[in-house]
Amino acid sequence: MTITEQQFELIETQLGRKPRGLVDIAWQNKQGVPAVLQMRSLVDDQPFPTLYWLSSKDLYQAIAEIETGGEVKRIELQIETDDDLRANHLADQQRYVDLRWKMMAENDRRRIEELGFTELFNCYGIGGIRHWDKVRCLHMQYAYHLAVGGTAIGCLLDERYALKELELSL
């Protein structure tokens, strides 16, 4: 996908700054409003293990309220007790790591190896989390969910909070 000038300006407005490390729009709604950005893994020789970044202010606010309500802890407790959810969540983490390497620009991959960051990119999952059985950030979980068309945690959020039905404003 090629980012139009209008989309780039909208992304600047969403973020409140010029995006650094932007590769592409990973997901947008039917009206063309960007909601998830694909990011570079290395920006100014610094690791950025977050492949997908939530840019929609509407989704960001809705998920912030969900997090404030204690949903991260509830999901983590569910991961501890629900074997299927745990297995699916851990598989999502591995797919994220694999996808990040697959989508990474070759020059970034070489530079990451030169700088000694390879292990970091092999170990850090969704949202840069090292402990894959935890949930660091629902924003990044949901961004990944939208970008790839479904994840265990993203589906939980859709079921509980109908986020997929949220209207996104410009």
Contact 144, 51 (CB under 8 A): yes
**Which pLDDT tens digit goes with each residue over 135-148?**
989 999 999 999 99
Is residue 74 scored above 80 in pLDDT? yes
Say what the pLDDT of residue 29 is. Answer: 92
Say what the pLDDT of residue 1 is. Answer: 62
Is residue 119 scored above 80 in pLDDT? yes
Average the pLDDT over 73-84 and give the result. 98
Say what the pLDDT of residue 90 is. Answer: 98
CA distances from 95 to 33, 92, 138 (A): 26, 5, 17
CA distance 60 to 169: 12
Parallel/antiparallel/unpaired status of strands 52-54 and 46-47: unpaired
Say what the pLDDT of residue 169 is. Answer: 86
The proportion of the chain whose per-residue pLDDT surpasses 90, expressed as a percent, equals 91
What is the average pLDDT score of the chain? 95
Say what the pLDDT of residue 166 is. Answer: 93
Say what the pLDDT of residue 2 is. Answer: 80
Average the pLDDT over 83-108 and give the result. 97
Say what the pLDDT of residue 56 is. Answer: 96
Average the pLDDT over 123-129 and give the result. 93
Please give the model's pTM, rounded to 2 decimal places: 0.95
